Chain A
Amino acid sequence: MIEATWLRHTLLVLGLAYLVWSLGSLEVDWERVSKGLPRAGDIVTRMFPPDFSRWELLSRGVTESLEMALAATFAGMILAVPLGLCAARNLVPMPVYLVARGIIVVMRTLHEVIVAIIFVKIFGFGPLAGVLTLIVSSITFIAKMLAEDIENMSPGQVEAIRATGAGFAKMLLYGVVPQILPRYLGVSIYRLDANIRQSTIVGIVGAGGIGQTLSASFSRYDYDFSLAILLVIIALVFIGEFFSSWARGKLR
Chain B
Amino acid sequence: MLAISELTKTYDTGTAALRNVSITVDEPQVVAIIGPSGAGKSTLIRCINRLVEPTSGSVELNGENLTKLGSRDLRRARRHIGMIFQEYNLVERLTVMENILSGRLGYVSFWRAFRRNYPPADVAAAFSLLERVGLEGYHNTRADSLSGGQRQRVGIARALIQSPDLLLVDEPTASLDPKTSRQVMRILVELAREQKTPTLINIHDVQLAKTFATRVIGMQEGRIVFDGKPGQLTEKVLTDIYGEEDWSTEAAPVTAAAS
Contacts and interface: CB of A to CB of B under 8 A. Distances in A.
Contacts of A164: 78-79, 83, 102-106, 158, 162
B105 A174 contact: yes
B51 A159 contact: yes
A173 B106 contact: no
Interface of B: 49, 51, 75-79, 81, 83, 85, 87, 89-94, 98, 102-106, 110, 113-114, 155, 158, 162
Contacts of A175: 91
Contacts of B93: 178-179, 181-182
B51 A178 contact: no
A174 B87 contact: no
Contacts of B155: 160
A164 B96 CA distance: 16
A156 interface: yes
B78 A160 contact: no
Contact of B91 (A162, A163, A167, A178): A178
B106 A169 contact: no
Contacts of B49: 163
Given A162-B51, A164-B78, A167-B75, 6 more contacts: A154-B89, A157-B89, A161-B91, A162-B78, A173-B110, A174-B105
A159 B89 CA distance: 8
A143 B85 CA distance: 32
A170 interface: yes
A160 B162 contact: no
Contacts of A182: 93
A165 interface: yes
A174 B113 contact: yes
Contacts of B77: 165
A175 B51 CA distance: 15
Nearest to A167: B75
B75 A166 contact: yes
B102 A156 contact: no
Given A157-B89, A174-B91, A165 B110 contact: no
A179 B83 CA distance: 21
A160 B170 CA distance: 12
Nearest to A160: B89
Give me the 9 closest cross-chain CB pairs, A-B, nearest first.
Answer: A165-B106, A165-B79, A165-B78, A160-B89, A156-B89, A166-B105, A163-B83, A178-B93, A165-B75
Interface string A172-194: 01110011011000000000000
A28 B91 CA distance: 61
A159 B170 CA distance: 13
Contacts of B106: 164-166
B105 A160 contact: no
A157 B104 CA distance: 15
Nearest to A176: B91
A182 B98 CA distance: 18
A174 B91 CA distance: 7
A157, A161, A165, A178, most chain B CB atoms within 10 A? A165
Interface in A221-247: none
Contacts of B110: 169-170, 173
30 contacts: A154-B92, A156-B85, A156-B87, A157-B89, A157-B92, A159-B89, A160-B85, A162-B51, A162-B78, A163-B78, A164-B79, A164-B83, A164-B103, A164-B104, A164-B162, A165-B75, A165-B76, A165-B77, A165-B162, A166-B102, A166-B106, A167-B75, A169-B110, A170-B105, A170-B110, A174-B102, A174-B113, A178-B93, A178-B94, A182-B93
Contacts of A169: 110
A167 B106 CA distance: 8
Contacts of B105: 161, 164-166, 170, 174
A162, A164, A178, most chain B CB atoms within 10 A? A164
Contacts of A157: 89-92
A7 B76 CA distance: 69
Contacts of B114: 173
A130 B92 CA distance: 40
Nearest to B94: A178
Contacts of B89: 154, 156-157, 159-160
A174 B101 CA distance: 11
Contacts of B92: 154, 157, 178-179
Contacts of B76: 165
B159 to A, nearest CB: 8
A161 B105 CA distance: 8
A162 B83 CA distance: 10
Contacts of B83: 160, 163-164
